Amino acid sequence: MTLWIYQTGDQKPLEIAEIVYGYVERMNAELPESIEMIVMWDRAREYRERLELLLKNGAFGLGLVLVVLGIFLAPKLAFWVGSAVPVCLLGGIMLLPAMDTTINMISLFAFIISLGILVDDAVIIGEEVFSNIQRGMTR
């Protein structure tokens, strides 16, 4: 027998998975030993992996921005440009409810892609600001 469980409404996939695993554990304790209930396919694992990838990429991008700009340009500039990564990620996450969206596979993929664009643009803008300061421009 196969039982499919789907997300409907505002449920979060990780919370659904936790409830399902708890249910499976309780049922296995009650079922005869010849019958076992198992989870065959868990999309929550994919969500966790994408979320971990987003966090790793964010940390790596932030570290890369801080190191490269700190070494080659100016540490102060590296700090301000590097602060764009966590501010933008947190801002994007905070805007999800206002856009009536949740963290799902599509939004996680969008965050991962936009993180790369953000780091690239932050470095380019930081270099331009630094070169303008070197030429004597103040504003």
Give tens-digit pLDDT for 15-35: 888 888 898 889 888 888 888
Q: Which amino acid is at 125?
A: I
pLDDT at 1: 63
> pLDDT class for 120, splitting at 50, 70, 90?
confident
Instruction: Quickly list DSSP for 50-75.
Output: HHHHHHHHHHHHHHHHHHHHHHHT-H
Section 69-92 average pLDDT? 85
Q: pTM (2 decimals)?
A: 0.60
